[in-house]
């Protein structure tokens, strides 16, 4: 697979795509599972409720956000890769966090869910051919390819895990 060019995603997403090294999207996504879970499984149940500052999400909410976002973006990949040209709406992360009540969940359950979502998406992504990855659609009012979305998923996780390491675990 080739990396997406700047015309395959909205400019806002460049901050995520740029974090992903190389061209092997599926390999990068697969490798993230072990790295992310090793970091997060070292966090205690109690520490998973901590915020790095007042008004910021707890670590549980960050992981929940990563799960929700990956699910939504993978759904977009599926629709676009299958040739569905229906414009796909955006989503506002804050109402999702409020409605999900991630802080009421067990930490281990959230980590298991993260792993399950990623492994499920890997099956989908491994089944896509070059033509499917290159298909274009519209998401959040901007043109995007399935490939662009895949790299956004990988970069979104890298972005949030950098914040976790620098602000929650430092």
CB atoms within 10 A of CB 111: 19
What ranges do the domains of the chain cover? 6-168
What is the reported pLDDT for 143? 97
CATH number of 6-168: 1.20.120.450
Arithmetic mean of pLDDT, 94-113? 98
R_g of the chain, CA atoms, integer Å: 16
Q: Provide the mean pLDDT of the chain.
A: 97
* pTM of the predicted model as reported, rounded to 2 decimal places: 0.96
What is the reported pLDDT for 125? 98
Q: DSSP letter string over 93-130?
A: HHHHHHHHTGGGS-HHHHHHHHHHHHHHHHHHHHT--H
Chain segment 17-76, per-residue pLDDT in tens: 999 999 999 999 999 999 999 999 999 999 999 999 999 999 999 999 999 999 999 999
Give me the count of residues in the chain. Answer: 170
CB atoms within 10 A of CB 87: 12
Of 27, 50, 64, nearest to 160 (Cα)? 64
List the beta strands (DSSP E) in 4-154: 136-139, 142-145
- Using 50, 70 and 90 to split pLDDT, how confident is the model at 1? confident
- Using 50, 70 and 90 to split pLDDT, how confident is the model at 123? very high
């Amino acid at each position: 697979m080739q990396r997406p060019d700047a015309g395959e995603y909205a400019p806002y997403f460049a901050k995520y795509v740029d974090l992903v090294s190389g061209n092997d999207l599926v390999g990068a996504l697969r490798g993230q599972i072990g790295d992310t879970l090793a970091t997060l499984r070292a966090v205690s149940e109690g520490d998973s409720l901590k915020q790095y500052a007042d008004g910021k999400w707890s670590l549980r909410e960050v992981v929940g956000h990563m799960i929700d976002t990956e699910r939504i973006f993978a759904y977009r990949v599926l629709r676009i890769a299958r040739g569905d040209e229906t414009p796909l709406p955006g989503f506002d992360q804050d109402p999702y966090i409020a409605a999900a009540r991630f802080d009421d969940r067990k930490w281990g359950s959230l980590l298991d869910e993260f792993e399950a979502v990623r492994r499920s998406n890997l099956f989908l992504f491994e089944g896509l051919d070059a033509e499917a990855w290159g298909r274009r659609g519209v998401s959040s009012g901007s043109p995007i390819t399935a490939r662009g979305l895949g790299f956004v998923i990988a970069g979104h996780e890298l972005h949030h895990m950098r914040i976790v390491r620098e602000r929650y675990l430092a």
